[in-house]
């Protein structure tokens, strides 16, 4: 990446620019549907059932037109499982034909060989397959029976079709934190790039976060592993809260919510971040508030998020420069103050805060989970429907962490 | 190492520039790299490369003082490596 160009006076760093927000997001996630064929226990958007208010094909096209006008160069498409929308492939083409590149997250359900060949023939499409265990045993406990085989089959098809550099996206949990080398091997074998993201207590993730989030010892090992992996493994903005262990990790080292990061949900609601689906972080709606650009530029919530903040209880921490108090969503959904330490603070302040008996966890605002929610060992219900829309795989955490695949040097 | 300044360059056809308060974002649709042009003058330079006989002329047109041209040559080389800018009329044998 380019160097800012030497100058006697240090130019403001990108992080400083980003804190005031950009004219358009650079890490925009768009969840096309809440429908999903799976029921991952940690799904950040509590997906399962389609929302009847889901944006129509024409409304989606209008969103893409607007993204093009704003010069949003690419969008991370997720869900739910986006590929179960009958118009998914049409919208994909519509986007790339309008100079909006796409990376989409999938559990692999629809990536058969012909689709893989089609994807390999496109230039501006990137595919990310979710996998939460390097073995079926570990993966399927979280993502449901058969989901490991489904993901691996999709990756095999992509590799066989000559699709280069697919992404394998892993949410790091207590159960798979010891499998990082195996994940890397699976990625290498498929000519893919490994992407590790943080388990955040968003959506159904709130129900399992206590049991599944990595232990402090695992966080430390994860950090060391990431330092060794360097730029070969993508992390988006997932682990900047671990920067206090040593040097900064590659990626975005700040919370970009509402500044460079944003979510459009299946019904057109705009949230500050894909991990922050809650009224508190709802900025507006693309249908009722004058379109996405209008919401991005004028929302009161975003104005507040872009205003300078002091750092609160973290301000005096010597790691504040790199950690900045961690992830807003992780704090919010564990009931911690937003201007205090992250629940996984490397200094241990998070654990102390979590132990506070007065802590209350906010209720989830929306839930599209399948009503008969299969827990780990139960079979995954396959819905049968007349339209080709029924089975939708959810991209779990796929949804996207900001800044996937994007590197900044400053 | 400043011969780049004597050569004709242009913005790559796969690159789009988006103005931002600090300068611009450059996105390459092919290799999906996002690069930040952190100075408005650099954005000026990059934009005028295609209409200038050589990079030196683009620097002069953007009003960059000659004392800074070496630094700009380094930046332009970085952009060339990421295929954000490419040699003009050379049928791809640049680099
Ligand atoms: S809230 Fe968390 S996940 Fe969202 S942008 Fe901020 S740090 Fe990233
Ligand atoms: S006290 Fe705050 S800034 Fe310091 S490491 Fe913990 S979360 Fe990060």
With a 6 Å cutoff on the Cβ, whether A255 touches ligand 1 is yes
Short-list A55, A15, A16, A17, CA closest to A34: A55
Band the pLDDT of A402: cuts 50, 70, 90: very low
Helix (H, G, I), strand (E, B) or coil at B15: strand
pLDDT above 60: residue A137: yes
Q: For tokens 């309008």, what's the residue?
A: A98
pLDDT above 80: residue A2: no
Rounded Cα distance between A298 and B43, Å, is 27
Mean pLDDT, chain A, whole residue set: 88
Lowest mean pLDDT among A150-154, A239-243, A307-311, B63-67: A307-311
Q: How far is A379 from chain B (nearest CA, A)?
A: 39
How many Cα atoms within 13 Å fall on the side-chain side of residue A68?
A: 13
Rounded Cα distance between A141 and A135, Å, is 10
With a 6 Å cutoff on the Cβ, whether A314 touches ligand 2 is yes
Instruction: Indicate left, alpha or beta for B91 from its phi (over 0: left) and psi (-120 to 50: alpha).
Output: left
Band the pLDDT of A287: cuts 50, 70, 90: very high
pLDDT of res. A377: 44
pLDDT of res. B29: 85
| ipTM score for this prediction | 0.79
Instruction: Indicate left, alpha or beta for A245 from its phi (over 0: left) and psi (-120 to 50: alpha).
Output: alpha
Estimate the share of chain A in helix, then strand, then coil, as percent rounded to the nearest 5.
35, 10, 50
Task: Say whether residue A15 is in contact with chain B using an 8 A CB cutoff.
Answer: no
pLDDT of res. A249: 85
With a 6 Å cutoff on the Cβ, whether A340 touches ligand 2 is no
Residues of B with CB under 8 A from a CB of A: 16, 18-22, 25, 27, 29-30, 32-39, 42, 68, 71-72, 74-75, 78-79, 82, 84
pLDDT above 70: residue A409: no
Band the pLDDT of A390: cuts 50, 70, 90: very low
Short-list A278, A271, A282, A275, CA closest to A397: A275
pLDDT of res. A373: 52
Short-list A87, A79, A162, CA closest to A119: A162
What pTM was computed for the model?
A: 0.86
More confident residue, A243 or B29: A243
pLDDT tens-digit map of A49-108: 999 999 999 999 999 999 999 999 999 999 999 999 999 999 999 999 999 999 999 999
Q: Measured in angstroms, how far is the CA atom of residue A338 from the centroid of ligand 1?
A: 12
pLDDT of res. B91: 52
């Amino acid at each position: 990446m380019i160097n800012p160009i030497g100058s006697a006076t240090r130019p403001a760093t990108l992080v400083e620019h980003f804190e005031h927000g950009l004219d358009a997001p650079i890490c925009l996630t768009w969840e096309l549907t809440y429908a999903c064929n799976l029921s991952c226990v940690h799904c950040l958007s509590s997906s399962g059932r389609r929302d009847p208010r889901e944006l129509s094909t024409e409304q989606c096209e209008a969103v893409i037109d607007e993204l093009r006008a704003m010069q949003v160069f690419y969008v991370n498409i997720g869900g739910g499982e986006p590929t179960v929308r009958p118009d998914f492939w049409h919208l994909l083409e519509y986007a790339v034909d309008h100079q909006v590149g796409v990376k989409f997250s999938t559990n692999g359900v629809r990536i058969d060989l012909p689709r893989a060949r089609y994807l390999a023939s496109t230039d501006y499409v990137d595919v990310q397959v979710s996998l939460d265990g390097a073995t079926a045993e570990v993966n399927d406990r979280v993502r449901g029976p058969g989901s490991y085989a489904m993901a691996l089959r999709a990756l095999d098809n992509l590799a066989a079709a000559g699709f280069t550099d697919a992404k394998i996206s892993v949410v790091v949990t207590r159960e798979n934190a010891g499998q990082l080398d195996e994940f890397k091997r699976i990625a290498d074998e498929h000519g893919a790039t490994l992407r590790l993201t943080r388990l955040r207590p968003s959506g159904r993730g709130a129900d399992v976060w206590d049991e599944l989030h990595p232990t402090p010892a695992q966080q430390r090992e994860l950090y060391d592993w990431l330092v060794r992996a360097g730029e070969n493994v993508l992390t988006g903005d997932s682990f900047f809260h671990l920067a206090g262990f040593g040097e900064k990790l590659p990626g975005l080292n700040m919370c970009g919510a509402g500044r460079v990061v944003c979510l459009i949900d299946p019904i057109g609601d705009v949230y500050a971040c894909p991990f922050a689906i809650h009224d508190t972080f709802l900025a507006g709606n693309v249908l009722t508030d004058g379109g996405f650009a209008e919401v991005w530029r004028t929302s009161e919530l975003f104005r507040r998020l872009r205003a300078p903040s002091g750092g609160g209880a973290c301000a005096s921490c010597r790691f504040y420069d790199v950690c900045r108090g961690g992830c807003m969503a992780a704090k919010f959904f564990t009931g911690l103050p937003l201007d205090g330490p992250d629940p996984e603070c490397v200094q241990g302040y998070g654990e102390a805060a979590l132990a506070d008996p007065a802590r209350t966890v906010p209720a989830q605002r929306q839930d599209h989970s399948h009503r008969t929610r299969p827990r780990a060992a139960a079979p995954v219900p396959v819905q049968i429907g007349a339209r080709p829309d029924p089975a939708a795989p959810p991209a779990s955490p796929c949804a996207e962490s900001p800044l996937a695949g994007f590197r900044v040097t400053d | 190492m400043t011969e780049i300044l004597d050569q004709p360059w242009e913005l790559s056809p796969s690159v789009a520039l988006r103005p931002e308060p600090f300068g611009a974002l450059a996105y390459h649709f092919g290799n999906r790299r996002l690069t930040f042009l952190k100075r408005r003058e650099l954005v000026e330079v990059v934009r005028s490369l295609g209409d200038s006989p050589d990079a030196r002329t683009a620097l002069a047109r953007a009003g960059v003082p000659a004392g800074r041209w070496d630094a700009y040559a380094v930046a332009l080389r970085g952009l060339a490596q990421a295929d954000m800018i490419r040699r003009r009329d050379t049928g791809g044998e640049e680099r």
